[in-house]
Structure 1
Amino acid sequence: MDTLASIPVFGGFLSTVIPFVVVLGIVVFVHEFGHYIVARWCGIRSEVFSIGFGPVIWSRRDRRGTLWQLAALPLGGYVKFVGDADAGSRTDARAIERMTAAERAESFHGAAVWRRMLTVLAGPAFNFLLTIVVFAGLVTWQGVPTERPTIGSIATLPQTEQTLRPGDVVLAVNGEPVAAFGDMLAIALKMPAPGPIRVTVERDGGTLDVAAPWPLPPLVQGVEPLSPASAAGLKAGDVILKADGKPLASFEDLRQMVLASGGRSIPLEVWRGGVRVVLPITPVERDAEAADGGFEKRVMIGVAGASLYMPATVTPAPWTALAYGAERMVMIISQSLFGLKSILTGAIGANNLQGPLGIAQISGETASQGLADFIGLIGIISTAIGLLNLFPIPVLDGGHFVGFCIEAVRGRPPSPAVMQVAMSIGLGLILLLMVFATYNDIMRMVS
């Protein structure tokens, strides 16, 4: 997808818009399909299944009478059930009065309350299911480290001779036994200064001692979207040789140079595919997680370091991959709730909220970093949409669910007047949040 940016007619605009539309389209379709299919299983008939709002670009009516359509504004979607007055599932009282008993039984508002509960919860549930499938698919594609700590691939560094080989099984580092691949890095980090490590490996049926380069050089693994590193043009695989004219021996050296910069612009000398380039970069102060679990202000550029040596991998069993996908989903939910709590309590600034423009930029930059990162973003956004819709705010799925719970307890739904006021308040809150998040996006782009 990064090829779009190289086409003059498209430029950077479509290389941002198209990935955003793809991400949002997939996530919204899965969410709304969850509502649609569970409603169908519950005997509720759907009139319209729409991806997007506004003028209709394409539509087709299926044999069940449901109108499937694509609309011009791709910022959401909806399923309109029989008996709904609009996309927000407000009751169309006049339409229901004119229905026969059989038609009323197929309407959303004429269905048993437990059927309506299942229908509204199905959207977020399908989003969570998509996340699990996405990350299960990624780990199946990329593999998991082998049981024995085996070298899989080795990054290329300038003027560095490699003594380790793919397929070497690491037995010890600096005389300390290695049981897992991560032990190799942990032992190296205990050294007083970066330098060659002594590695005992099993190779071709024998045991061999070799001196190997430091495993944690200033090598870029990933670049955070909307970060100074992204703006400067850093890419995964770059080797940062110097910062502010000073040679770097490790990724930790880079981190210390950034912290010491105080936010002033510093030049980075980067080795990329055999070519040296100089990239000016201006670190920024951001809210970062502290060691005690709280937050602190920290100067950063938004890059993650990579290991010189990557482990050999094997394809996991399907249940192992699904378990990994579920763990990632739970982790994203936990981090999202923690971040929201931190914003509400003032631990971090509300400027950390991303709106549609910010998400579009993130989608475009993530797409340029590779297919795996882009697919992972779909999983993250899917969880975020599912979680947001579970909040007990009228107009959202969680708000509808709370209303159905009240109906189940009282034996009758809240009055139409109360529901109208609640829906108006809920819609106002959502719009206010969108406006504020969009304001954050604009200020971020301006700065």
Structure 2
Amino acid sequence: MSVLVNLIAFVVALGLLVAIHEFGHFWVARRVGVRVLRYSIGFGRVVWRRTGGDGTEYALSAIPLGGYVKMLDEREGDVAPEERHRAFNRQPLWARNAILFAGPGFNFLFALFAYWAISVIGTTELRPVLGEVVPESPAAEAGLAEGQEIVAVAGEETLSWDDVLMRLLAEGAGNEALSLAVETPDGIRRDLTLDVAAIGPLGEKPNILGALGLRPWRPTIEPVVGELLPGGPAATAGLTAGDRIIAVAGEPVDEWQTLVEVVRARPGEAVDVTVRRDGERREFAVTLGRVEGEDGDTGRLGVRPRVEDSAYAGMRRTVQHGPLAAIAQATGATWEASALTVKLLVQMVTGDASVKNLSGPINIAQYAGQSATLGVVPFLRFLAIVSISLGILNLLPVPVLDGGHLLYNGIEWLRGRPLSEAAQATGQQIGLVLLGLLMAVAFYNDLARLFGPS
């Protein structure tokens, strides 16, 4: 994945979501009569600015990692007597709360729109049919077997592997067992119980399905090179698209999965790769690449298979809804993603989930680039998740965030008067420290994922 693609996708994604968040504050402030002095996206050096006819300055800065809406406020400077009714601090509590909540609220609305668009556009999903089930794994103990299709998790219908993963995360975290409904190839439905506690916290598993012993069905793919990764070991050695790989390091290869297993077991090794090209047998000396992972290093050849569409016949389904039906689907998806995010945050605070789940800008940029290259629907899904995370993060009761200001307003409502400026300033300092620690942990996690096993 190109670093440039990651960077561009990250800037576009974060810039868009920050702009939406700040526009929520801006739009509601204007509606309740507060004067907005500045609407700014980004920090650092201003690269563009314009003053509108309404007197608001609109600005774009060089670092798209945030933004702000500056409103008229007597606590930040002198305000002319004729303008005091338009100052933020002069507004009733309900109006100030509405302005503060509008930023996160617009993030949730955007996620709702993104999920609605995905539902209307439609997606082609791989049915959650099981391939080989690992012996003596939680899946095998539950009675799951190859060829069964998972049709429900915890009572909720699952149409794809994405649905299965989401339900496992949402319902499995904190629970010892999960109910599954499967359908056998001959149409018989069975209800099973999966022991998820046996593998520890699901949120810490990079491969939840593998940890449970589940392997999605896959077709038998011929070991024919469909595409070579530029600069990869195979391309460097001289392999070309269309080569049929028949042996690696002397081990026969009869299908693509065998090739994967043989290569993965030899990280960094120099091996002979035997291929059949135009009816002739040829050998190439290849130094395999090395990929670091939690379970140790694995080898990489740098090739992708040639897969015929007919290989997936009957295993794909199109999931699509009309504009009205998509509203219910989008609402459910937004609620489920929001609830899962809150649940994981709570579990990180209580120690039931690891802080390794936190992601920083590096990891987010990688996901942004990957989703953008996969197409509109994956990028929209990525934007929806990040938008929800941004909304929930800003609602945390931490001073300097929207949730912290809402907390101050709640205290003011209970006391009948606001906190002193000194108390609020102390709270802001504490909030900055907490936010700094949060970002430090997220950045550390990014580096740990990037440079080695975590």
TM-score tier by shorter-chain length is 0.5 to 0.7
Aligned to 1:187: 185
Distance 2:312 2:182 in 1: 11
Structure 1 contact 185–216 (Cα < 8 Å) conserved: no
Of residues 104, 116, 138, the one that matches 2:118 is 138
Structure 1 contact 395–426 (Cα < 8 Å) conserved: yes
Structure 1 contact 56–71 (Cα < 8 Å) conserved: yes
1:117-149 per-position Cα deviation (integer Å, ceiling 9, x unaligned)? 00000111110000010011011011699xxx9
Structure 2 contact 399–430 (Cα < 8 Å) conserved: yes
2:447 aligns to what SS in structure 1?
A: helix
Q: TM-score, length-normalised on structure 1?
A: 0.63
1:337-389 per-position Cα deviation (integer Å, ceiling 9, x unaligned)? 23323433444432332111221122122222222211211111100000101
Mean CA deviation greater in 331-340 or 33-42: 331-340
Give the C-alpha shift of residue 437 in structure 1: 1.3
Distance 1:418 1:181 in 2: 52
Aligned to 2:443: 438
2:66 aligns to what SS in structure 1?
A: strand
Aligned to 2:178: none
Aligned to 2:426: 421
Aligned to 2:200: none
Distance of aligned partners of 1:446 and 1:415 in 2 relative to their CA distance in 1, 3 Å threshold: same
Q: Show the 5 A alignment for 1:18-167.
A: 18-83=8-73, 91-92=75-76, 94-95=77-78, 98-100=79-81, 102-142=82-122
Distance 2:100 2:73 in 1: 15
Aligned to 2:142: none
Gaps of 5+ in 1: 6-11, 85-90, 150-173, 191-213, 220-231, 234-239, 270-276, 287-298
Percent identical residues: 34
Give the C-alpha shift of residue 319 in structure 1: 2.5
1:401-420 per-position Cα deviation (integer Å, ceiling 9, x unaligned)? 11112212222111101000
Distance 1:38 1:359 in 2: 29
Of residues 192, 216, 219, the one that matches 1:217 is 219
Structure 1 contact 59–67 (Cα < 8 Å) conserved: yes
Amino acid at match of 1:187: P
Give the C-alpha shift of residue 283 in structure 1: 7.3
1:284 aligns to what SS in structure 2?
A: coil
Distance of aligned partners of 1:378 and 1:420 in 2 relative to their CA distance in 1, 3 Å threshold: same
Give the C-alpha shift of residue 218 in structure 1: 6.3
Distance of aligned partners of 1:107 and 1:186 in 2 relative to their CA distance in 1, 3 Å threshold: farther
Structure 2 contact 122–321 (Cα < 8 Å) conserved: no
Structure 1 contact 218–241 (Cα < 8 Å) conserved: no
The total of aligned residue pairs comes to 338
Amino acid at match of 2:386: I
Distance 1:351 1:82 in 2: 40
Distance 1:342 1:396 in 2: 21
Give the C-alpha shift of residue 34 in structure 1: 0.5
- 1:350 and 2:323 aligned: no
Of residues 305, 312, 321, the one that matches 1:308 is 312
Distance of aligned partners of 1:340 and 1:250 in 2 relative to their CA distance in 1, 3 Å threshold: farther
Of residues 273, 280, 294, the one that matches 1:285 is 294
- 1:317 and 2:322 aligned: yes
Aligned to 2:366: 361
Distance of aligned partners of 1:104 and 1:445 in 2 relative to their CA distance in 1, 3 Å threshold: same
Aligned to 1:330: 335
Gaps of 5+ in 2: 128-146, 152-157, 161-180, 189-215, 222-231, 234-244, 274-283, 301-308
Distance 2:69 2:254 in 1: 56
Root mean square deviation, CA, Å: 4.6
